[in-house]
Chains A and B, each alone.
Chain A
Amino acid sequence: MLEINNLHARPTEGREILRGIDLAVGAGEVHAIMGPNGSGKSTLAAVLAGREGYEVTEGAVTYLGRDLLTMEADERAREGLFLAFQYPVEIPGVNNMYFLRTAINAQRRHRGEPELDAGQFLRIVRAKLKLLNIGEDLLQRAVNVGFSGGEKKRNEIFQMAMLEPRLAILDETDSGLDIDALKLVARGVDQQRASDRAIVMITHYQRLLEYVEPDRVHVLQGGRIVQSGDKTLALEVERRGYGIVEDAA
Chain B
Amino acid sequence: MTASNETLQTVRSLSQEGYKYGFITDIEADTAPPGLTEDTVRFISAKKGEPEWLLEWRLAAFRAWREMVQPDWAKLHLQPIDYQAATYYSAPKQNAGPTSLAEVDPELLRTYEKLGIPLREREALAGVAVDAVFDSISVATTFKEELSKLGIIFCSMGEAVREHPDLVRKYLGTVVPQNDNFFAALNSAVFSDGSFAYIPPGIRCPMELSTYFRINAAKTGQFERTLLIADKGSYVSYLEGCTAPQRDENQLHAAVVELIAHEDAQIKYSTVQNWYPGDAEGRGGIYNFVTKRGACRGARSKISWTQVETGSAITWKYPSCVLEGDHSVGEFYSVAITNNRQQADTGTKMIHIGKETRSTIVSKGISAGRGQNTYRGLVRVQPRAQNARNHTQCDSLLLGDRCGAHTVPYIEVRNPSARVEHEATTSKISDDQLFYCRQRGLSAEDAVSLIVNGFCKEVLKELPMEFAVEAQKLLAVSLEGSVG
Q: How far does the alpha carbon of A91 sit from the alpha carbon of B453 in the complex, in Å? A: 10
Question: With A77-B439, A77-B441 as given contacts, are A93 and B446 in contact (CB-CB < 8 Å)?
Answer: no
Contact with B along A58-100 (1 / 0, CB 8 A): 0000000000000011101110001101001111111000011
With both chains docked as a complex, state the minimum distance between the C-beta of A114 and any C-beta of chain B, in angstroms. Answer: 16
Binding site of B, secondary structure by majority: helix, strand, loop or mixed? helix
Q: How far does the alpha carbon of A49 sit from the alpha carbon of B440 in the complex, in Å? A: 10
Does the CB pair A107–B3 fall under 8 Å? no
Q: How far does the alpha carbon of A215 sit from the alpha carbon of B217 in the complex, in Å? A: 73
Q: How far does the alpha carbon of A106 sit from the alpha carbon of B447 in the complex, in Å? A: 11
Does the CB pair A94–B450 fall under 8 Å? yes
Return the contact of B438 from the options A74, A99, A100 (Cβ within 8 A). A74
Does the CB pair A74–B442 fall under 8 Å? yes
Looking at A85, A88, A93, A110, which has the most chain B CB atoms within 10 Å of its CB?
Answer: A93
Residue of B nearest to A78 (CB): B441
Does the CB pair A91–B454 fall under 8 Å? yes
Does the CB pair B443–A74 fall under 8 Å? yes
Give the interface size class of chain A. Answer: 20 to 34
Return the contact of B439 from the options A53, A83, A94, A99 (Cβ within 8 A). A83
Q: How far does the alpha carbon of A149 sit from the alpha carbon of B442 in the complex, in Å? A: 24
Whether A43 sits at the interface, judged by CB under 8 Å, is no
Chain A residues with Cβ below 8 Å from B10 are none
Q: How far does the alpha carbon of A165 sit from the alpha carbon of B439 in the complex, in Å? A: 12
Does the CB pair A93–B456 fall under 8 Å? yes
Give the interface size class of chain B. Answer: 20 to 34
With both chains docked as a complex, state the minimum distance between the C-beta of A128 and any C-beta of chain B, in angstroms. Answer: 15
Does the CB pair A93–B455 fall under 8 Å? yes
Chain B residues with Cβ below 8 Å from A74 are 438-439, 441-444, 447
Question: With A52-B431, A102-B446, A102-B450 as given contacts, are A91 and B437 in contact (CB-CB < 8 Å)?
Answer: yes
Residue of A nearest to B444 (CB): A74
Whether B1 sits at the interface, judged by CB under 8 Å, is yes
Q: How far does the alpha carbon of A51 sit from the alpha carbon of B430 in the complex, in Å? A: 13
Instruction: Name A18-36 residues within 8 Å CB distance of B.
Output: none
Question: With A74-B441, A94-B453, A106-B441 as given contacts, are A52 and B2 in contact (CB-CB < 8 Å)?
Answer: yes
Chain B residues with Cβ below 8 Å from A89 are 430, 432-433, 435-436
Does the CB pair A53–B431 fall under 8 Å? yes
Q: How many A-B residue pairs have CB under 8 A?
A: 83
Whether A44 sits at the interface, judged by CB under 8 Å, is no
With both chains docked as a complex, state the minimum distance between the C-beta of A97 and any C-beta of chain B, in angstroms. Answer: 13
Does the CB pair A72–B436 fall under 8 Å? no
Chain A residues with Cβ below 8 Å from B444 are 74
Whether A56 sits at the interface, judged by CB under 8 Å, is no
Chain B residues with Cβ below 8 Å from A92 are 454-455
Chain B residues with Cβ below 8 Å from A90 are 433
Does the CB pair B450–A91 fall under 8 Å? yes
Does the CB pair A72–B438 fall under 8 Å? yes
Chain B residues with Cβ below 8 Å from A94 are 450-451, 453-454, 457
Return the contact of A51 from the options B435, B443, B457 (Cβ within 8 A). B435
Question: With A73-B435, A91-B450 as given contacts, are A52 and B1 in contact (CB-CB < 8 Å)?
Answer: yes
Does the CB pair B439–A49 fall under 8 Å? yes
Does the CB pair B453–A93 fall under 8 Å? yes
Residue of A nearest to B429 (CB): A91
Instruction: Name A184-207 residues within 8 Å CB distance of B.
Output: none
Whether A181 sits at the interface, judged by CB under 8 Å, is no
Q: How far does the alpha carbon of A92 sit from the alpha carbon of B429 in the complex, in Å? A: 11
Instruction: Name B282-310 residues within 8 Å CB distance of A.
Output: none
Q: How far does the alpha carbon of A45 sit from the alpha carbon of B451 in the complex, in Å? A: 24
Whether A173 sits at the interface, judged by CB under 8 Å, is no
Q: How far does the alpha carbon of A77 sit from the alpha carbon of B456 in the complex, in Å? A: 27
Whether B458 sits at the interface, judged by CB under 8 Å, is yes
Q: How far does the alpha carbon of A247 sit from the alpha carbon of B444 in the complex, in Å? A: 46
Does the CB pair A77–B451 fall under 8 Å? no
Residue of A nearest to B456 (CB): A93
With both chains docked as a complex, state the minimum distance between the C-beta of B398 and any C-beta of chain A, in angstroms. Answer: 15
Q: How far does the alpha carbon of A53 sit from the alpha carbon of B435 in the complex, in Å? A: 11
Does the CB pair A52–B435 fall under 8 Å? yes
Q: How far does the alpha carbon of A88 sit from the alpha carbon of B436 in the complex, in Å? A: 8
Does the CB pair B458–A93 fall under 8 Å? yes
Residue of B nearest to A72 (CB): B438
Does the CB pair B436–A106 fall under 8 Å? no
Chain B residues with Cβ below 8 Å from A237 are none
Chain B residues with Cβ below 8 Å from A93 are 453-458
Q: List 27 A-B contacts (CB under 8 A).
A: A49-B435, A50-B439, A52-B431, A73-B435, A73-B439, A74-B439, A74-B443, A74-B447, A77-B441, A85-B439, A89-B432, A89-B435, A91-B437, A91-B451, A91-B454, A93-B453, A93-B454, A93-B455, A93-B456, A93-B458, A94-B450, A94-B457, A99-B440, A102-B450, A103-B440, A103-B442, A163-B441
